[in-house]
A and B are shown apart, each in its own frame.
Chain A
Amino acid sequence: EPEVTQTPSHQVTQMGQEVILRCVPISNHLYFYWYRQILGQKVEFLVSFYNNEISEKSEIFDDQFSVERPDGSNFTLKIRSTKLEDSAMYFCASRVPNEQFFGPGTRLTVL
């Protein structure tokens, strides 16, 4: 069964460093998403991506964040200068009409 994959599963970084979280969406999907979930809290929408551009973004997705689809398979989330409050699980998702499929997440720990 096709699935969304994410790497790494856990990323530890120092405050101020750049991180890139990687996702491989399901191959025939056209819509891609990033969400984050701070430990014990609800899932929060970050950004949606379609046709090689951002469709929508939340207020969380400020200038420190960027997304790319550098090739036909990968979808990345970059945080330029990480802050302590960026520590969270980051989930990538892709979708077909009426159903999103989520990856297993990357746990980002900012020290």
Chain B
Amino acid sequence: GESVGLHLPTLSVQEGDNSIINCAYSNSASDYFIWYKQESGKGPQFIIDIRSNMDKRQGQRVTVLLNKTVKHLSLQIAATQPGDSAVYFCAENLSGDSNYQLIWGAGTKLIIKP
């Protein structure tokens, strides 16, 4: 079946460097994408979202890029800090799904090296 997946299960980054977390999706009908951060022992926390009519969206220290041609989504975190250590999930919402049922990727664990 169609699903959202992540390229790398673990990403190790030096503190202060930029992090790029990637996600591939296979459902071309998806029109809304979200990145979540999940810290150990906590529930997922919304970071940033993007609609399919956009290819880039910026937040505070984070940028999401969407490439619909290759069905690829990425999350860029600028100047990575120890507090960014978490598992990052991408999720997609299928077009026309008014109930906001998200399909989640497998998650990438971001490790910050001091």
Write the residues of chain B forming the contact surface with A, with a CB cutoff of 8 angstroms: 32, 41-46, 49, 89, 91, 99-107
Residues of B within 8 A of A101 (CB): 46
Inter-subunit contact B89/A43 (CB<8 Å): yes
Most A Cβ at <10 Å: residue of B91, B104, B105: B104
Smallest Cβ distance from B77 to chain A, in angstroms? 19
Task: For the complex formed, measure the closest distance between the CB of A71 and the CB atoms of chain B, giving whole angstroms.
Answer: 23
9 pairs of residues in contact across A and B, judged by CB atoms under 8 Å? A33-B100, A42-B106, A42-B107, A43-B102, A45-B102, A50-B99, A55-B99, A93-B43, A95-B100
CB-CB contacts of A33-73 with B at 8 A, as 1s and 0s? 10000000111110010100001100000000000000000
The answer to whether A100 touches B106 (Cβ under 8 A) is no
The interface residues of chain A, by DSSP majority, are classed as: strand
Q: Which residues of A contact B107 (CB under 8 A)?
A: 42
Query: Chain A interface (Cβ within 8 Å of chain B)?
Result: 4, 31, 33, 41-45, 48, 50, 55-56, 91, 93, 95, 98-105
Q: Are B99 and A56 in contact (CB under 8 A)?
A: yes
Contact between chains at B43 and A91 (CB < 8 Å): yes
Contacts A42-B89, A42-B104, A43-B89; A91 near B44 (Cβ below 8 A): yes
Instruction: Report the minimum CB–CB distance from B46 to chain A (whole Å).
Output: 5
- Which of A31, A41, A55, A98 is close to B49, meaning CB atoms less than 8 Å apart? A98
Q: Nearest chain-B residue to A58 (Cβ)?
A: B101
On whether the beta carbons of B46 and A43 are closer than 8 Å, the reply is no
Which of chain B's residues has its CB closest to A55's CB? B99
In the complex, what's the smallest C-beta–C-beta distance from A53 to chain B, in angstroms? Answer: 12
With beta carbons under 8 angstroms apart, the residue of A42, A55, A91, A102 that contacts B105 is: A42
* Residue among A42, A50, A102 with the highest chain B CB neighbour number at 10 A: A42
A31 to chain B, nearest CB (A): 7
In the complex, A31→B56 CA distance in Å? 28
Q: Select which of B41, B45, B101 is within 8 A of A56 by beta carbon.
A: B101
B43 pairs with A41, CB closer than 8 A: no
Residues of A within 8 A of B41 (CB): 104
B42 touches A100 (CB 8 A): no
